[in-house]
């Protein structure tokens, strides 16, 4: 009886974690009305779902330099020319934030300086992908324990630029902003895993706030079936055949 009760409790816990993760798959997006206003609650723009790719690392999903040189080559989401894109991917490392400028083989290049600032108990994030890697034309700076990430990007007409940070777990808040007026970017878009898009304003200093709707976990939890078979239910004892009695 104790084993059966324990198994049922594990099933309930696994179900609760799965439900929590399903809820946490939505990220609320808001942008303050002007730089430094902080009025995010009055300017909620919508919600994002993560692209699910738990079998691939963030680097494999980004596919840097694999088809188009010096560029993002992921199959989804679909990128737009002259736009900066923000989206989440649930990769092998956990939940990762992608920031990708422009699209491969655009007619022009661009320049962007961005900063990502993180609050909450997820401050174990790191840079997972650099497009292009440090030491070429682009520069990166990471704060202690993943509290901030600053990137200086400059790309040619052939290419994209960007970075990936993560994994993000627990309760967190992420603020993203441009530090200077971007060049070669006319749009800023937050993209959801279901294909919907949220329009953002690329005004320097005007922060976008990303907040999970629920408790984020680093990795998907094992389903209840992985916990093993349930112990047999108690029932009437069958008589032992006489020929087995010694």
28, 211 Cβ separation under 8 angstroms: yes
The answer to whether the bond into 86 is cis (omega within 30° of 0) is no
Quote the pLDDT of residue 121.
Answer: 67
Quote the pLDDT of residue 134.
Answer: 81
Quote the pLDDT of residue 12.
Answer: 47
In whole angstroms, give the CA distance from residue 206 to residue 146: 21
Backbone angles phi, psi at 240, to 5 degrees: -80, 130
In whole angstroms, give the CA distance from residue 208 to residue 210: 7
pLDDT tens per residue, range 197-225 = 999 999 999 999 999 986 544 444 443 34
pLDDT tens per residue, range 161-203 = 999 999 999 889 999 999 999 999 999 999 999 999 999 999 9
The number of C-alpha atoms within 13 Å of 196 and in the hemisphere containing its C-beta is: 11
- For the chain, the structural domain boundaries read 2-222
CB neighbours of 148 closer than 8 A, spacing ≥ 6?
Answer: 115, 116, 117, 118, 141, 142
**Residues of the chain falling short of pLDDT 70:** 1-25, 121-123, 214-246
Backbone angles phi, psi at 200, to 5 degrees: -120, 165
């Amino acid at each position: 009886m104790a084993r059966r009760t324990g198994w049922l409790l594990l099933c309930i816990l696994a179900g609760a974690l799965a439900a929590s993760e399903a809820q946490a798959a939505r990220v609320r997006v808001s942008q303050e009305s002007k730089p430094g206003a902080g009025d995010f609650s009055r300017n909620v723009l919508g919600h994002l779902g993560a692209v699910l790719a738990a079998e691939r690392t963030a680097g494999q999903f980004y596919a840097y330099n694999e088809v188009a040189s010096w560029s993002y080559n992921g199959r989804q989401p679909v990128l737009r020319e002259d736009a900066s894109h923000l989206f989440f991917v649930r990769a092998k490392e956990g939940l990762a934030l992608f920031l990708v400028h422009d699209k491969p083989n655009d007619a022009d290049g661009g320049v962007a300086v961005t900063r990502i600032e993180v609050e909450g108990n997820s401050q174990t994030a790191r840079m997972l992908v650099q497009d292009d890697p440090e030491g070429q034309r682009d520069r990166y700076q990471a704060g202690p324990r993943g509290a901030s990430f600053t990137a200086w990007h400059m790309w040619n007409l052939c290419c994209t630029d960007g970075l990936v940070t993560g994994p993000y777990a627990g309760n967190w808040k992420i603020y993203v902003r441009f530090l200077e007026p971007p060049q070669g970017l006319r749009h800023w878009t937050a993209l959801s895993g279901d294909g919907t898009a949220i329009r953002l304003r690329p005004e320097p200093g005007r922060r976008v706030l990303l907040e999970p709707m629920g408790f984020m976990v680093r990795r998907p939890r094992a389903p209840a079936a992985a916990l093993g078979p349930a112990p047999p239910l108690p029932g009437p004892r069958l008589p032992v055949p006489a020929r087995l009695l010694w």
